[in-house]
Amino acid sequence: MKTIDDLGELRGKRVLVRSDFNVPLDGTTITDDGRIRAALPTIRRLAAAGGKVVVTAHLGRPKGSPDPAFSLAPVAQRLGELLGSHVTLASDTVGEGARSAVAAMEPGDVVLLENIRFDARETSKDDAERASLADDLAALADAYVSDGFGVVHRKQASVYDVALELPHAVGGLVQTEIEALSRATESPERPYAVVLGGSKVSDKLGVIENLLTKADRLLIGGGMVFTFLAAQGYSVGSSLLEADQIETVKGYLAAAADRGVEIVLPTDIVVAPAFAADSPATVVAVDAIPADQMGLDIGPDAAAAFAASIADAKTVVWNGPMGVFEFPAFAGGTKAVAQAMIEATAGGAFTIVGGGDSAAAVRQLGFDEAGFSHISTGGGASLEYLEGKTLPGIDVLAD
């Protein structure tokens, strides 16, 4: 893949950058600006080289038309604060507002186009419709830089099709992501441990199947663990359960046993009568989950066992929280995993936090991001990379 260095002289050139600014909002307040911060090095580099930096990104899931609730206005404001310079927000995605904003740019300026998903062509399954939007984007630029790792697993106009129309390069963020994930998947130093959490087994079927051929141990927590416990014959009360995946999980457990892959499951669970921050928490053994209670975190014994399983690993990948970390009473398991990974990193292990909710948990719970080898900006993209899938937004950049 070509890098920014391969684009040559950038002064005065319009450079379209696909970033990932899909940040969480509370009204118009950004609650986690991690993805904006991650985009800064590439934007700063292009601006410092005299490029006219035209950034396109999405926020949320608008229905293919303008929706004020999903405007990138808060992002433009925060991006400008972090850059220390004004960022112009175009009034539309590729229309007259975008064209006027780009035409007025001077070298080093940064313009943010309005939410690209306000245009239904961005996510269209019709190649011609996406190509039409790519034409409009290409008309605003002289070169394209792909720097939104969180969307490279999507075949979308601003991710895939526009790269076919302009001289293109991989941005620093995406390049770093690929290097880190490649190190963890192609030639990991062993023992290689993978910690999987989050709500649903069905979201991670492919990655579990692939990791059973690569990892030395899988640590399973989060809501998905209850399908594993049910597969072992335990009653899980009112916990999240995907009954239609129980047989699949039984197959995973058998395959792991055959291949010598260690599956680490919790021995205790923190339960509560309701999904609420103030719901009274109780620790129970996995074989004693009350019928009228739901599991919301792995228990303290499980957290200690997970930490021990991470401690001697040389490569650790973590994707998905261990419980409802947003509620303090149910954050213990996630905290334990994060702390164990930091200690493993200090001991020389290569550690990856696989984006999405895991990265948000690290920041929300107050951990130093520098304590991990790499924190991914793309939950879904990192999962698909771990699954061994081809990512369209990466494939299109190949020379």
Q: What's residue 205's pLDDT? A: 86
Distance between CA 39 and CA 25 in Å, rounded?
A: 18
Query: Structural domain boundaries of the chain?
Result: 4-171, 180-387
Distance CA 334, CA 215 (A): 21
The helix (run of H) or strand (run of E) holding residue 282 is: strand 282-285
**Is residue 369 within 8 Å of 130, Cβ to Cβ?**
no
Q: If the chain, 399 residues long, is cut into consecutive pieces of 10 residues, what is the mean pLDDT of each piece?
A: 96 98 94 93 98 98 95 98 98 98 98 98 98 98 97 97 98 95 91 93 88 95 96 97 96 97 98 97 98 98 98 96 97 98 98 88 94 91 86 93
Summarize the annotated binding site for substrate as residue ranges.
20-22, 35, 58-61, 117, 154
Give the model's pLDDT for residue 202: 87
Q: Are 218 and 253 in contact (CB under 8 A)?
A: no
Q: How far apart are CA 148 and CA 19, in angstroms?
A: 4
Same CATH fold assignment for domains 4-171 and 180-387: yes
The reported pLDDT for the residue numbered 378 is: 86
Instruction: State residue 386's pLDDT score.
Output: 85
Query: What pLDDT sits at residue 388?
Result: 84
Superfamily of 180-387 according to CATH: Phosphoglycerate kinase, N-terminal domain (3.40.50.1260)
Strand, helix or coil at 53? strand
| Virtual torsion, Cα 335, 337, 342, 347, nearest 10 deg | 150
Give the per-residue pLDDT at 226. Answer: 97
CATH topology of domain 4-171: Rossmann fold (3.40.50)
CA atoms within 13 A on the CB side of 198: 21
Which residue positions form the known binding site for ATP? 204, 295, 326, 355-358
Helix 356-364 / helix 332-346 crossing angle, nearest 10 deg: 90
Q: Which residues are annotated as a binding site for (2R)-3-phosphoglycerate?
A: 35, 117, 154
Q: Residues with catalytic annotation?
A: 35, 200, 356, 380
